[in-house]
Structure 1
Amino acid sequence: MSNVEAEPAEVTCTSTPGDVEVLTPREVPLGGPRAMPVRRTLPQKQRSLIGAWCFCDHYGPADTSMDVAPHPHTGLQTVSWLFTGEIEHRDSHGVHAYVRPGELNLMTGGSGICHSEQSTPSSTTLHGVQLWLALPDAHRDAPRDFQHYAPPTVDVAGATARVFLGTLAGSTSPVHTFSPLLGAELLLPAGTTLTLDVSEEFEHGVLLDTGDLRLGDTELGLNSLGYLGTGHATLTLSTTAGARVVLLGGEPFGEEIVMWWNFVGRTHEEIAAFREEWQAETDRFGRVEGYPGDRLPAPQLPGGRLRPRGNPA
């Protein structure tokens, strides 16, 4: 998915352990003149990363369509996860695939890739999350790649889980990532209190999609993201009416990154060079075949460097 803000900020990000926080989303229009609103909980001023997770858009359920023209990425992996609907994906790696509920699509765009996303004609309701993973410096020029995985549903003390990245409750995803991570969808029936064994080396984020939820003693508002730092061997989730959540985790990233538009890099100059190459249609990003329209042009760079911001120490 693209970040189509007209004036995207340049963000210098670091990931460090912190106290428990509740991150509330801001609404961002996605998709041009007939934009679909999405709720963005990462990055934010107070927290830019959770492990390598550096971007979280949450959308729907909405009676809408998606049509995001070909756009570029560098230095990241995109993670597409749907609850409802179907999205057609095309990319410059030559992949033509579909994003469907309960099935992971992970695209690697290290040195450069471009892709398009369109909801299918039969999909009148869209509901899901789009996530980005920052690639560590040693792998940020990784070649283009695409992985698909449909995780099984596993029982977790009366709740159910689909583990699409990493390991949780004895279920392990085979999908390759470049840093230690966790990604899972959890469904908690009404009246459930669930304690999960997790890695103390990880920081975690819990996104509440539907229902009500407490993370430990902290109540999460609908569509908010609850953050818990490292040093916790368990997470306790409780709900009165039932809940669906997305659980994210990973070791603190430990590197600075600069995010602007759809690029992840390390310096302002590098991001500016990526933008210039996209506008010049160089081979770095390739071409999307089969999309019935033009590429998405890059916004103008900011007039000057913005103040770096990252996670609190």
Structure 2
Amino acid sequence: MTNPEEHPTAQVCADGGLPGPRAEHGGGAPVEIITARAVPLGGIRAMDVRRTLPQRRRSLIGAWCFIDHYGPDEVADTGGMDVAPHPHTGLQTVSWLFEGSISHHDSGGHAARVLPGQVNLMTAGAGICHSETSTPDAERLHGVQLWVALPEEARHRPERGFEHHVPEPVEFDGGSALVFAGSLLGSRSPVRVYTPLVGAEIRLRPGGVLDLPVDPGFEHGLLVDTGGAVTLEGVRVPEDALGYTGVGSRTLRIANEGDGDARLVLLGGAPFGEEVVMWWNFLARSTEEIRRYRQEWEDHGERFGRVEGYVGHGGPGRNREGMERIPAPELPPVTMLPRRNPPPHARSDA
């Protein structure tokens, strides 16, 4: 999914350094609450997404650098998703749906249908472009779109990768999980990532409690999709918000204290040790790289290739605004200043 902001801010995401000692909060790890901000995806009947990363409070959780949460949206009301071809560099996109169906086409020659409970991972490397549209039979759209920052040794690779995986449910007392990245609860996803990561959908029945074994070298974020009474380490995490715990925990207690089912997305990873400049759909290491990527996209350069098979809601090859591809926003004439990620432990002022 593209970043739809007309004037995207420049960010330099950096490792926060070595963690401090693990603090105690109600007998468990401290939890920082990161609330979402609304961003319109675009169009006459704009589909809104709720963004929890990146923000001023925190730019990365492990290598996860972008979290958009959307729906449930009635396609008849919003017009659905219609994102014309747009570029990416230096990252992987991870598409995970709860409801609906999305058609994906990219310049690596991959065409796929994104369905609930099935992960689709695209690796940009040195450059890729892709389109995303809700399919004609999709009545509702509901899910998350995630980005993962690539480390230096992987971000220049010319291969335009795409992987698909259908994880088997992991049942536990009180609920179940679907592991779409990394390893958790004895389940391992085969999709390739380039830094230590974990990603999973977790469902908890009313009254369900999960004492989740985790890697103590990972920081974690728990996004609440549904469930108005979810706690992480005893701290209430509101719907649409992200509960963040830093490194040092071997077990995280997640509980559903409500009378309805809860659906959650757990994301975690080893703190990312590289500075990453993020602007629009590009991840880079400097302002100069961003300027070059933007100009190459505007010049229809070979770095990004070309999407074949895109059928937008405005007809073959066009979205409902008539665009064949999304033009890059104007780049501010400034050098991008660092916005450093805080150290990998929850802050008490959250």
Give the shorter-chain TM-score range: over 0.9
Query: Is 2:91 aligned against 1:76?
Result: yes
Judge conservation of contact 1:9–1:306 (CA < 8 Å) in 2. Answer: no
Q: Distance in 1 between matches of 2:45 and 2:174?
A: 41
SS at match of 1:287: coil
Q: Distance in 2 between matches of 1:34 and 1:266?
A: 35
2:209: which partner in 1? 193
The CA deviation at 1:192 is 1.0
Judge conservation of contact 2:231–2:257 (CA < 8 Å) in 1. Answer: no
Q: Distance in 2 between matches of 1:221 and 1:305?
A: 37
**Structure 2 unmatched runs, 5+:** 21-29, 311-316, 319-323, 344-350
1:273-306 Cα offsets, whole Å, 9 max, x none, are: 0000000001100000122221100000023235
Q: Which amino acid aligns with 1:115?
A: H
1:36: which partner in 2? 47
**Structure 1 unmatched runs, 5+:** none
Residue among 110, 115, 120 paired with 1:100: 115
Match runs of 1:1-313 below 5 Å: 1-16=1-16, 17=19, 20-64=31-75, 65-142=80-157, 143-211=159-227, 212-241=229-258, 242-291=261-310, 292-293=317-318, 294-313=324-343
Identity %: 57
1:98-155 Cα offsets, whole Å, 9 max, x none, are: 1000000000001000000000011121000000000001111132100000000111
Number of positions where the alignment pairs a residue of Structure 1 with one of Structure 2? 313
The CA deviation at 1:15 is 3.1
Judge conservation of contact 1:195–1:237 (CA < 8 Å) in 2. Answer: yes
Q: Distance in 1 between matches of 2:165 and 2:199?
A: 12
The CA deviation at 1:43 is 0.2
Q: Which amino acid aligns with 1:168?
A: L
SS at match of 2:71: strand
Q: Which amino acid aligns with 1:165?
A: A
Deviating more after overlay: 172-181 vs 76-85: 172-181
Q: Distance in 1 between matches of 2:117 and 2:148?
A: 19
Q: Distance in 1 between matches of 2:233 and 2:251?
A: 10
Judge conservation of contact 1:54–1:134 (CA < 8 Å) in 2. Answer: yes
SS at match of 2:263: strand
Judge conservation of contact 1:51–1:249 (CA < 8 Å) in 2. Answer: yes
SS at match of 1:283: coil
2:348: which partner in 1? none
| Larger strand proportion of the pair | 1
Q: Which amino acid aligns with 1:305?
A: T
Judge conservation of contact 2:31–2:232 (CA < 8 Å) in 1. Answer: no
Judge conservation of contact 1:74–1:110 (CA < 8 Å) in 2. Answer: yes
Q: Distance in 2 between matches of 1:137 and 1:214?
A: 36
Q: Distance in 2 between matches of 1:133 and 1:183?
A: 11
Judge conservation of contact 2:217–2:248 (CA < 8 Å) in 1. Answer: yes
Q: Distance in 2 between matches of 1:203 and 1:63?
A: 34
SS at match of 1:34: coil
